[in-house]
Amino acid sequence: MSSKKIKVTPDSKAVFHPLEKEKTQPEGSKAWGGVFTESTDRRVELFTESISYDRRLFEADIRASIAHAEMLLSIGILTVGELAKMKEGLLEIRREIEENRFVFNIEFEDIHLHIEHALIAKIGDPGRKLHTARSRNDQVVTDMRLWIRDALDRVDRRLLDVQSAFVTRCDADFEVILPGYTHTRRAQPVLAPHIWLAYCEKFERDRQRIKDCRKRVNVAGLGAAALAGTSIPIDRFKTAELLDFTGVAANSLDVSSDRDFILESAFCLTQIALHLSTLAEEWILWSTAEFNFLRLPQSFCTGSSIMPQKINPDVLELIRGKTARVAGNLQSLIVLTKGLPLAYNRDLQEDKEPIFDSFDTVETSLTLAAPLVAGTTLNQNVIADRLDKGYLDATTLMEYLIMKGVPQRTAHGIVGKLVRSAMEKEVPLTKLSLKEFHEFYEGFDYNVFSVLGAKNAVEAMKSYASTAPEQVRMQIDHWKQKIEREVLDGTETADSEN
């Protein structure tokens, strides 16, 4: 019976159909044919396949196979001629997949078996040597490590783009003072670039985390074979070097059983998504008619099918919303690996969809966040007109008293009463007379007006990392230099300092 080909496209998940029991494989087409006397049930093939989603590992799989083959040559398992054929065949398969000419067939389960099968079909017997001293268990770990390494580098670059978008707007927004909030209540005034750089710091820690995670991702597992290693004298250090891994995993059972590098990556992505969701939430609020602090670029908004006036912040809402699936993916991976005994278990195949989805989601969100940050404008007049609301200068006034020798608790009480009195008169603190100040504390002098009002309060700041203009200026300069260096150095990968 001839094999029935099923075309699995990137967006077509194989559909399980309970009645589809048809035997599809020709005898001996499975990599494990020998011991079996029955062919695989069609429903099992549909249930166990991963080709519909692990096909995206093809490039990593071929890269790893070529390195493995070169190592097999160095220990005398392959001849120079066999290696040449193997490389040629593998590169041809890569082209076929890239150009959508490769036929995927559910019988061959996953990307590893597809490529090996296609190689044997192309070059015959030499292809049958590729799987020497290798198992799909170490192969899949190797592919995932290579794929994630590249993906982490891409995410790092996207984070740099978002940081760069924030830093680029710092000069133009330097004079803008915004209310800073705690509990979503007006608290103290802050310079707009101080807010922009707060996000840069968050994304910087995300980048540091990626860099650190990458060290543990970038370890070679190839050669661990199924679980116990191999009696063939392979050179694991050679394949590690060929694939640019910086370390070689020291325990074959550990290689075969663990996916902690995937969970760690999923956490890094979750933290990025969480940071993005804070930005999204803040800017959704700030772009409402109620706040009206900023105007989002219309090219990043969508309208309503019924209400003609609506300009909705859907991109930000989806960035916020997609955080749920990224966090959910992390949760799935945690539950997936809980309680799995050593070493490989087929459960681990379920690691792919969540981690691929997290990378795809976060990469897309970052790709949209950068131009959105760059294209948003601050409604400076609206912000300035309402800046005397909320007694943003009250804390600085208290600190003025502390510097005059008043104990903090006493100063807090005095300013609290002053604010209460100003509230009753419905005026800001700047509108109180010195006489009125004296009603609450004799020691006030005219200097008090130099710390009142949002601008004075910002300028009165002294501490390192505060919103004081000179502090913010210093931070902007630091960030500009850093971003310039990194953008210029765009080819540098995250672990090049290892």
Residues designated as active site: 183, 304
Give me the amino acid identity at 333: L
Residues in the chain: 498
Build a one-symbol-per-residue string for 61-100: x at contacts with ligand ARG by CB under 6 A, - elsewhere: ----------------------------------------
Closer to ligand ARG by CB, 45 or 173: give it: 45
| Minimum separation from the CB atom of position 140 to ligand ARG (A) | 4
d(CA 302, CA 320) in angstroms, rounded, equals 16
Contact 255, 239 (CB under 8 A): no
Residue 441-460 contact track with ligand ARG, rule CB under 6 A, x = bound: --------------------
Residue with Cβ nearer ligand ARG (13 or 95):
13
Q: Which amino acid is at 299?
A: S
Cα(202)–Cα(267) distance, integer angstroms: 15
Question: Residue 72 or residue 140: which is nearer to ligand ARG going by CB?
Answer: 140
- Is the backbone of residue 124 left (phi > 0), alpha (psi -120 to 50) or beta? left
Residue among 137 and 265 whose Cβ is closer to ligand ARG:
137
Find the shortest distance in angstroms from Cβ 332 to ligand ARG: 15
Query: Least distance to ligand ARG from the beta carbon of 229, Å?
Result: 16
Q: Total residues at the site for ligand ARG (CB under 6 A)? A: 9
User: Does residue 145 bind ligand ARG (CB under 6 A)?
Assistant: no
For residue 48, give both structure tokens: 């166990």
Q: Which is nearer to ligand ARG, 155 or 343 (CB)?
A: 343
Q: Which stretch binds ligand ARG (CB under 6 A): 1-9, 133-141, 333-341, 398-406?
A: 133-141
Give min distance, CB of 23 to ligand ARG, in A.
21
Sign, CA dihedral 67-252-55-111, equals positive
Mark 44-63 with x for binding to ligand ARG (rule: CB under 6 A) and - for no binding: ------x-------------
To ligand ARG, the closest distance from the beta carbon of 223 in angstroms equals 16
CA distance 223 to 313: 50
Tokens of 190: 């802050």
Check binding of 136 to ligand ARG (CB under 6 A). yes
The binding track of 392-421 with respect to ligand ARG, each residue x by CB under 6 A or -, is: ------------------------------
Subset of 288-347 contacting ligand ARG (CB under 6 A): 344, 346
Cα distance between residue 254 and residue 446, in whole Å? 72
Give 492's contacts (C-beta < 8 A, 6+ positions apart): 486
How many C-beta atoms surround the C-beta of residue 288 within 10 A?
A: 11
**Min dist. Cβ of residue 130 to ligand ARG (A):** 16
Q: Does the footprint of ligand ARG cover residue 137 (CB under 6 A)?
A: yes
In this chain, which stretch among 64-72, 136-144, 393-401, 422-430 interacts with ligand ARG, using CB under 6 A?
136-144
Of residues 462, 458, 473, the one with CA closest to residue 187: 458
CB of 346 to ligand ARG, least distance (A): 6
Task: Please name the residue that has the structure tokens 């103290």.
Answer: 188
CA distances from 293 to 181, 369, 380 (A): 14, 18, 7
Burial of 19 from C-beta contacts in 10 A (0-12 / 13-18 / 19+): exposed
Q: Is 38 or 442 the residue whose CB approaches ligand ARG more closely?
A: 38
Minimum CB separation from ligand ARG for residue 117, in Å? 14
In this structure, what DSSP letter does residue 69 have? H
Q: Does 35 bind ligand ARG (CB under 6 A)?
A: no
Helix axis angle, 352-375 to 314-337, nearest 10°: 160
Examine residue 225 and tell whether it contacts ligand ARG (CB under 6 A): no
Residue with Cβ nearer ligand ARG (203 or 344): 344
Integer angstrom CA distances of residue 394 from 315, 346, 377, 382, 402: 37, 62, 29, 22, 13
Question: Is there binding between residue 110 and ligand ARG (CB under 6 A)?
Answer: yes
Q: CB 201 → ligand ARG: shortest distance, Å?
A: 37
Q: Does 140 bind ligand ARG (CB under 6 A)?
A: yes
Contact, 221 vs 255, CB < 8 A? yes
In this structure, the strands spanning 294-295 and 247-248 are unpaired
Query: CA 389 to CA 89: how far, in whole Å?
Result: 72
Q: Quick one: 48 or 79, whose CB is closer to ligand ARG?
A: 48
What x/- string results for residues 339 through 378 when contact with ligand ARG is judged by CB under 6 A?
Answer: -----x-x-xx-----------------------------
Residues 315 and 280: their CA atoms lie apart, in Å, by 9
Q: Is 214 exposed, middle or buried (CB count within 10 Å of its CB: 0-12, 13-18, 19+)?
A: buried
- Closest to ligand ARG by CB, 140 or 273: 140
Q: Which residues bind ligand ARG (CB under 6 A)?
A: 50, 110, 136-137, 140, 344, 346, 348-349
